[in-house]
Amino acid sequence: MQKPKIAFIDDEPRILRSLKMHFRQSHDVFITTDATELMEYVSQNEVQVVISDQRMPDKQGTEVLSDIKAASPNTIRILLTGYADLNAVMDSVNEGEIYRYITKPWQNDELKKIVNKATEIAQKTQEIMENDATQHRVDSGTVSNRNILVLDDDESIYQQIKSHFKSAYNVSWASNLEQAATLLQKKRFGVTITDSTLNQENITPIVYALKNIQPDLMVLMLTEFKDAHMVIDLINKGQVYRCLPRPTNFSIMSISLDRAFDHHERLVQQPILAARHHVEEVPESEAFNFSERLKGFFAKFRSWRISR
């Protein structure tokens, strides 16, 4: 049986040799320090996973993965780096649509777990992604679900978004978890636009919960990002679709919304593709530290998920 293919690019040969040693039993491993060589390999082979270092002499890893995305949409993309640079993190999700962001030094067992899951997803969705790449994108005018949920405790943000997009989308607003829970049980949303905090609480766990319940929900994070590690968590655990800067640039948001609803519709039509955005369950150790309101939100949504 042919092994799945994985490619690594890094400017340190020592790291590449180590990675090859760890994966040669389970994968057909290609290693290189050259982005052009990597692109040639990917264009000539069916590669399930590409892992790129961020800091390289000629090209940033986010650029490499963006090129890989264009050349081979089915390939799962992972960024490996020794530092948490905020701009790189945001580029990785906005441009490369990466699957995971891994910081050095990595744990071998954890890296293998991530790579094995990524390989499984790539193999499972290969045929659908290949067919999808040969067809026209979904016309945004034909998307059936035009519902946006704005999850923000600042009403002015909601009013601005509603005013700007009222002709194209149905915009609802929740300023707290109770309102969000009520709306989400009454209506199916294609996109949610949210800040990183809600009433001074980190909203990251809420994103995990929403994506676990509705994998085709596209999450646009609108915030003044300051914490790179929080964004990494959102990528790795919450699979946010785009990170948008605050104050709001409506031209950028308009493009992001069109693409988000387009992607949402493809996931609705081909639910198996949602595996490419799968999120991790919130660990019990993290859930233990949640406030009572967060615990109540999770309890409500767990019961809702079971009943659906």
The domains located in the chain, with CATH, are 5-134 (3.40.50.2300), 140-307 (3.40.50.2300)
The pairing of beta strand 147-151 with beta strand 170-174: parallel
pLDDT at 185 over 60: yes
φ, ψ for residue 151, nearest 5 deg: -110, 95
Beta-bridged to residue 174, according to DSSP, are: 151
| Residues 252-296 pLDDT 10s | 899 889 988 988 888 888 878 877 877 766 555 555 555 666 666
Is residue 254 helix, strand or coil?
A: helix
Q: How confident is the model at residue 136 (pLDDT cuts 50, 70, 90)?
A: very low
**150: β partners:** 173, 193
User: CA-to-CA distance for 66 and 88, rounded, in angstroms?
Assistant: 12
pLDDT digit string, tens, across residues 72-128 = 988 999 988 776 666 666 666 666 578 888 887 888 898 999 999 999 999 988 877
Neighbouring-strand partners of residue 198 = 201
3-state secondary structure (DSSP) of residue 143: coil
Among candidate residues 163, 134, 125, 170, the one with its CA nearest the CA of residue 267: 125
**What are 46's two structure tokens?**
């069916």
Task: Answer for the pair 101, 236: CB distance below 8 angstroms, yes or no.
Answer: yes
* pLDDT class of 138 with cuts at 50, 70, 90: very low
Q: What span, in angstroms and rounded, lies between the C-alpha atoms of 126 and 121?
A: 8
Answer whether 186's CB lies under 8 Å from 226's CB.
Answer: no
User: Peptide bond before 13: cis, by omega within 30 degrees of 0?
Assistant: no
Write the pLDDT tens digit of every residue in 53-72: 988 878 888 889 989 988 99
Q: Higher-confidence residue: 268 or 298? A: 268
The 8-class DSSP code of residue 245 comes to E
